[in-house]
Structure formats: C-alpha cells, structure tokens
Structure 1
Amino acid sequence: MLVLPAELTHAQAGACLSMLVQALRRDAESLVVADASATVVFDSSALAVLLACRREALALGKGFVVRGLHARLASLAQLYGVSELLPVQG
C-alpha cells in the first residue's frame, strides 16, 4: 500500500512521487492501493502524483486503486476529466 502524506502540494510533489514509486516497485502485490485518507492539504499536484503512480503501476502490469480520496480531490479529478483514471476502493 502506498500512503500519501497529510500535505501534498507542489512543494512536496517531487519528493513524494519519488518515494511512492520506489515503494510501488518493491511491492509484490498485483494491485497497488494508494491510501489518500490522510491527505487533507493538497492542490492539483496531488492528482499529478496519483496519476504518475497509476502510470508506473500499469507499466509494471499491476492494477491501481485509490482509497480514502478526499471529496474535494475527487471533485478536482472530475473537473480535470481524470476521475475515471483513479478508481476509488470502498
């Protein structure tokens, strides 16, 4: 499971993505779960990080879902037309 930080804005995006991709590559599971439940301070960079993680997971032949996606972040994904790329796990 990939755990996103409480704050994920442009300032943290690069370092966060690096750490998440490293964890994703080490994970032997066929389904990558990105846990965004702790992420409460964010901007559109959070979506970019999630989409990059999804791309990496798919490149490795893994599935990708998001758990605990904040309603405002889900709305932002819908506004940008990428919500279907970030399936939410109940």
Structure 2
Amino acid sequence: MPDSLDTLQSLTSLTVHNATSALEQGLDAIRSGQTKFDLRNVKAVDSAAVSVMLTWQRAAQEAGGVLELKNLPDNLKNLTKLYGVCSLVSSTLTAEDCGSAGGHAERSPSDLHHH
C-alpha cells in the first residue's frame, strides 16, 4: 500500500476555485489505499480547504483508516484552529499546533459525523 500521494504534492492551492477537483483527487487516492497526503506545496488556501480536508478524513475513517496530512502550511493550520477542527484534520498536529484560536474549543471526532 503506498505511503504518500505524489499527485497531491503538485497541489499549490486549495481554494473554492479548485476544491471540487482536489476533493475528488483525494477521494480517489483514499479509495486506492493512500494514508498520507503531503501538502508542502500548498500556498493559497481559504475555508474550502478545511471542508475538503474534513471530507478526506471522514472518507478515510469510513474506509477503516486514518488519513495523515503532512506539511500543512501555517495559514491552513490557522484556519483549522479558527474553526476548532485542528485535531480532526490531522493526527500529526500536536496539541501546541491545535492551540485555541479565536476562543473556539476543539471538537471531538464524533462531531465529524453528519446527521
């Protein structure tokens, strides 16, 4: 089973403009058994990035795995902190990485499920 996803390393932005294609690219990789995504080259993000990453994580959980998102840019970490979902996005983020931003409390994994 492959460790990393080279195709996502080419991703330089994760915004509303490319969220749908990035989402599908990630979901295809998860279905193929990918467990690690490297986002080192992502420079431009907006709130759509958080939604995409949560959907990827949920898909990985439904497939019986945990998705590891590596090298998240600081602006993306800050968005996950702002929305209180930092620990849901990646298990590799430390407690310090997920420190409170804007007074929002962290969510539990059970909050990830839609009703």
Question: Does the alignment reach a TM-score above 0.5?
Answer: yes
Q: State the identity %.
A: 28
The alignment of Structure 1 onto Structure 2 pairs a total of residues equal to 87
1:11 to 8, 12, 17: 17
After TM superposition, what 4+ stretches of structure 1 lie above 3 angstroms from structure 2?
none
Q: Runs of 5+ in structure 2 lacking a partner?
A: 94-115
Partner Cα separation in structure 1 for residue 58 and residue 65 of structure 2: 10
**Is the radius of gyration larger for structure 1 or structure 2?**
2
Instruction: Name the TM-score, length of structure 1 as normaliser.
Output: 0.86
Greater RCO between the two (CA within 8 Å, min separation 6)?
Answer: 1
The yes-or-no answer on 1:25 pairing with 2:31 is: yes
Instruction: Name the TM-score, length of structure 2 as normaliser.
Output: 0.69
Task: Tell me how large the CA RMSD over aligned residues is.
Answer: 1.7
The yes-or-no answer on 1:52 pairing with 2:52 is: no
Q: Runs of 5+ in structure 1 lacking a partner?
A: none
Q: Quick check: which one's strand share is greater?
A: 1
